[in-house]
Structure 1
């Protein structure tokens, strides 16, 4: 088994097939999209492939080390930016091919007009550290 992170971006650098911004969807279209996401997570939970997943808010902040014990905090990221993470899933699957298959299925979540969104999802394997690596 190998773990993969599937990142769901909001209007990322690669536009989805159905490029209607979510804030222009009807409440019913948003509900259908969210139900698809919940059903997909339930399916992966039942198969034992879902490790964790979460949608994230469109607001947040940046923090960095400043060397003086009080890290600066800056507002952002902002929904107006080119790329904003909307959520993520961690899956534990038998192969990279399975991770690709799941991401392809997730990309078909319904959007405006009920059409598949066709969004690009970022899929990244977890770093495989040696067993004796001390973290």
Structure 2
């Protein structure tokens, strides 16, 4: 079964990684950033080695996003991010193909142990089954 394992974050988290702390997001040192990148690479490498990894990507900060919706006249309405009403956004993901919900839950639990600065609020990790072409999970 395929699953999308998503790490959540916020604009404040990205700013903290750039050295600009806020109340719930302490500034990251260069060593802490390198430890986080090494941890994420190790998770991806282990999943590739086990044959479970399909894709994994980190995403840029919300401030670099664009939101496109349909206006009342049918023409697109384009807004640049970040969005004040959105507290958490998708920060990165792993697309995996593994044997069970229990296995993907183990993977997500491992991801929650990612290193970071002291006082960091651990971002949630969300698991979503990928619907197959037949329509049912």
TM-score (normalizing by structure 1): 0.77
Determine whether 1:85 maps to 2:90.
Answer: yes
Q: Secondary structure at the match of 1:6?
A: strand
Over aligned residues, Cα RMSD in angstroms?
Answer: 2.9
Q: Is residue 10–residue 83 contact of structure 1 (8 Å, CA) maintained in 2?
A: yes
Residue 76 (structure 1) shift:
1.2
Moved over 4 A (4+): 67-70, 78-81, 115-118
Quick one: structure 1 residues 116 and 49, their matched pair in 2 at CA, closer, same or farther if it must change by over 3 Å? Answer: farther
Q: Indicate the residue corresponding to 1:16 in structure 2.
A: none
Q: Indicate the residue corresponding to 1:48 in structure 2.
A: 51
Q: Indicate the residue corresponding to 1:123 in structure 2.
A: 127
Q: Indicate the residue corresponding to 2:65 in structure 1.
A: 60
Count of aligned pairs:
123
Cα offsets for 1:22-43 (capped at 9, x unmatched)? 6x01110011001100111011
**Aligned equivalents of 1:11, 1:71: Cα separation in 2:** 26
For structure 1, the residue ranges without an aligned partner over 5 or more in a row are: 13-18
Residue 65 (structure 1) shift:
2.9
Quick one: structure 1 residues 78 and 67, their matched pair in 2 at CA, closer, same or farther if it must change by over 3 Å? Answer: closer
Residue 103 (structure 1) shift:
0.3
Q: Is residue 25–residue 120 contact of structure 2 (8 Å, CA) maintained in 1?
A: no
Q: Secondary structure at the match of 2:2?
A: strand
Q: Is residue 108–residue 119 contact of structure 1 (8 Å, CA) maintained in 2?
A: no
TM-score (normalizing by structure 2): 0.76
Quick one: structure 1 residues 74 and 118, their matched pair in 2 at CA, closer, same or farther if it must change by over 3 Å? Answer: closer
Q: Indicate the residue corresponding to 1:38 in structure 2.
A: 41
Q: Indicate the residue corresponding to 2:30 in structure 1.
A: 27
